[in-house]
């Protein structure tokens, strides 16, 4: 069975949605093909938005359409070439959108984030907890 690239994004969005539900948040997947908000998360007093970016491999992720907005977060999932291995748990990085510009590198007309640049954000679900507190 061949894996299509868009399957990575869809699987990643549902993975993040599942993780948010497991942490007790009310979260909603947004619909549309060209969107910069994949998930809306409702807290006790405020709402945040999440954009999910995923890669089957382990190199860079494209962030061309990321907008630096308050209460907007980018969740990166890296599958390290193990996307089809359902026992593998992807690496997760939670980054405030306002930090993206300082972390990315330009390659022609593509803005990219490398894993090394976001290492300090690995498994930082606390970023979302604090935003929704």
* Three-state secondary structure string covering the chain: CCCCHHHHHHHHHHHHHHHHHHCCCEEEECCCCCCCCCEEEECCCCEEEEEEEEECCCCCEECCCCCCCCCEEEEEEECCCCCCCCCCCCEEEEEEHHHHHHHCEEECCEEEECHHHHHHHECCCHHHHHHHC
pLDDT 10s digits, 48-107 = 999 999 999 887 899 998 989 999 999 999 999 999 999 999 999 999 999 999 999 999
Q: Is this structure's pTM higher than 0.95?
A: no
- What domains are there in the chain, each with its CATH number? 5-132 (3.40.1350.10)
pLDDT digits (tens, 9 = 90+) for 17-38: 999 999 999 999 998 766 678 9
């Amino acid at each position: 069975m061949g894996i299509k690239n868009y399957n990575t994004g869809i699987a990643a969005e549902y993975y993040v949605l599942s993780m948010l539900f497991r942490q007790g948040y009310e979260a909603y997947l947004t619909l549309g093909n060209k969107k910069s908000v994949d998930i809306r998360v409702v807290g006790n007093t405020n709402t945040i938005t999440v954009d999910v970016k995923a890669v089957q491999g382990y190199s860079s992720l494209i962030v061309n359409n990321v907008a630096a907005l308050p209460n907007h977060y980018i969740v990166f999932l890296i599958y390290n070439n193990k996307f089809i291995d359902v026992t593998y748990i992807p690496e997760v990085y939670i980054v405030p959108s306002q930090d993206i510009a300082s972390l990315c590198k330009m390659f022609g007309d593509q803005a990219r984030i490398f894993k090394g640049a976001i290492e300090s954000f690995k498994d930082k679900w606390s970023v979302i907890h604090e935003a929704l507190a």
